[in-house]
Chains A and B, each alone.
Chain A
Amino acid sequence: MSEADRVPVVADGEWTDDVEEEEGVVVNWFAKPGRRVAAGESLCEIQVEKVSIDVPAPVDGELVEIVRDEDDEFTIGDTLAWIESEG
């Protein structure tokens, strides 16, 4: 499978209406690498400025790599994981 099929799960900051902070922490992962995930499924829960936010899978596919583990910090724009997309 080519690199192009790998889709990043990005902490994209789309939630920032009420949240000004640029950095957060990963609280819980719900999917393990190897899981077939559906677009929209909650992959993990992150916390930014005391607000808990679920990060959904952007596409259908297989979760192949977790880049930011539980308790790891991230900055908006960071890749949290990679999905190999279907089709």
Chain B
Amino acid sequence: MTVDRELTMSRAVVEAIGAEMRENEEVFYMGEDVADYGGIFDSTQGLLAEFGYDRIMDVPISETAYLGAAVGAAQQGMRPIAELMFVDFFGVAMDQIYNQMAKNTYMSGGAVSVPMVLTTAVGGTYSDAAQHSQALYGTFAHLPGMKVVVPSTAYDAKGLMHNAIRDDDPVVYMYHKRLMGLGWLPAPPGPKTPVPEEDYTIPFGKADVKREGADATVVTLGLHVHRALDAAASLAEDGIDTEVIDLRTLVPLDRETVIESVHKTGRLVVVDEDYRSFGLTGEVVSSVADEALDALEAVERVAMPDVPIPYARELETEVMPAAADIEAAVRNVQ
């Protein structure tokens, strides 16, 4: 079937949320500026008109209060979606997130489940400085008890959101601001894709091989899927054939697809917008080393250096992994 319409990532997310809300009256959305404003990254655009203030709920500026409320509602059988406006703000509500949301299922011996979705905006590239530009993928993936989803295209964003809302466990759904397709923050080519009008799900823990290649494996997620594809296109001009893997979810992590690819290419480049130390790049490299050390001929990591992300555009561009950095890393492992 050909799909003759394309959606931005924000609209694909909203379409999935709207469909789930129509289907199940226990689903509701709360967060800061999500009702009248429609979400500062358009994550709830248009939903208030259909569902009203009882189900699209603006909350006071207390992440502790409303994330705690979401955990309670979830334990009582509702399916809340709670938005943390910027992932950087997790600190003020970390107990609600990692002690309550992530662990109550286990602390209650399975007496309750916490079927909620924590949506949150991540990433930089637009001069928003150190407190509004982080990816923090590793922070959430590190703590047991939460599934972690990072879509890179509108098609994936819709299918993963359907799956997230239907999941009986807490899911952290991290959307990259630069991919949402906003007028004031234009997306690069790539995230806007054909999106079927009907519902569909994308299972967690299934990476997507975005481009097949025999010479190197590039593993990444979110915005950097598109930068890796740009690098791969450029490398192809020099006859270097790069495989690009979009992880799509960090928890669960599809190690099998990565290892299978490294068996083919022998060369691994892991690209992450999150900080270099104690994060995704180290995790993927060590996972491959655990299972397929013999196959591994060369490894490179491309990640945000361990510094607070600068405000100045030139400095932010300097620290943020670019397509050229990925290209150089792939050349280094040849």
**What is A's interface to B at a CB cutoff of 8 Å?**
27-32, 34-36, 45, 47, 50, 52
Contact = CB atoms under 8 A, between A and B. Distances in A.
Contacts of A35: 4-5
B181 A28 contact: yes
B183 A32 contact: no
Contacts of B182: 52
Nearest to B6: A30
B191 to A, nearest CB: 11
A28 B8 contact: yes
A36 B197 CA distance: 13
11 contacts: A27-B181, A30-B6, A30-B7, A30-B11, A31-B4, A31-B5, A32-B5, A32-B6, A45-B8, A50-B183, A52-B182
Contacts of A27: 181, 183, 186
B44 to A, nearest CB: 14
Interface in B141-190: 181-184, 186
Most buried by A among B4, B6, B183, B186: B183
Given A28-B8, A52-B183, 4 more contacts: A27-B186, A32-B6, A35-B4, A50-B183
Q: Is the interface of B mostly helix, strand, loop or mixed?
A: loop
A41 B305 CA distance: 45
Contacts of B7: 30
Interface of B: 4-8, 11, 181-184, 186, 192
Contact of B4 (A28, A34, A50, A52): A34
B5 A30 contact: yes
- In order of increasing CB-CB distance, the 5 nearest A-B pairs are A35-B4, A47-B183, A52-B183, A27-B183, A32-B4
A47 B11 CA distance: 16
A25 B157 CA distance: 26
Contacts of A50: 183-184
Contacts of A34: 4
A29 B8 CA distance: 9
Nearest to A54: B46
A3 to B, nearest CB: 24
A27 B11 CA distance: 13
A28 B45 CA distance: 15
Contacts of B8: 28, 30, 45
A28 B192 contact: yes
A27 B182 CA distance: 8
A52 B180 CA distance: 14
B212 to A, nearest CB: 26
Most buried by B among A27, A28, A30, A47: A28
A75 B111 CA distance: 61
Contacts of B5: 30-32, 35
A29 B183 CA distance: 12
A32 B192 CA distance: 12
Contacts of A32: 4-6
B6 A29 contact: yes
A16 B107 CA distance: 56
Most buried by B among A27, A31, A36: A27
Nearest to B187: A28
B48 to A, nearest CB: 15
Nearest to A36: B4
A60 B241 CA distance: 46
Nearest to A48: B183
Nearest to A25: B183
Nearest to B7: A30
